[in-house]
Amino acid sequence: MIEQDRYTYRVTWPQEDQEYIGLCAEFCSLSWLAATPEEALKGIRHLVAQVVMDLQNNQEPIPEPLAVRSFSGRFVVRIPPELHRRLTIEAAEAGISLNRLAATRLS
């Protein structure tokens, strides 16, 4: 396994596959199907470790784990002008900033 494996893993049950699937957010093209959630997690972690080793051997960039990445708390979203107007009015009527309204809706 990766010595400092801090990637973001998830195991889910897609009805169409009839098996558990292990996923890694930082390597969204990878997945691992297994009969149990434990096997799915073990499989995707092993697969990620292999891919990271290949990237290292080929001196290619390795994705930084989301868990250790810094976030500013700021991102820009483009919306239609009429929605912008409607949300601005709603925020004003509530006596809060548009930023607070958006943050509340996203949480």
pLDDT value, residue 2: 55
pLDDT tens for the chain, 107 residues: list them: 555 689 999 999 999 989 999 999 999 999 999 999 999 999 999 999 999 999 999 999 999 999 999 999 999 999 999 999 999 999 999 999 999 999 999 99
Parse the chain into domains and list their residue ranges. Answer: 9-67, 71-106
Distance CA(63)–CA(69), nearest Å, equals: 10
93 vs 89: CA distance, rounded Å: 6
The separation between the first and the last C-alpha atoms of the chain, rounded to the nearest angstrom, is 34
Which strands, in side-by-side order, build the sheet including 31-34?
9-12, 20-24, 31-34
Residue 21: strand pairing partners: 12, 33
Chain-centroid distance, C-alpha 72? 16
- How would DSSP label each residue in 38-68? HHHHHHHHHHHHHHHHHHHHTT---PPPGGG
pTM of the model: 0.74
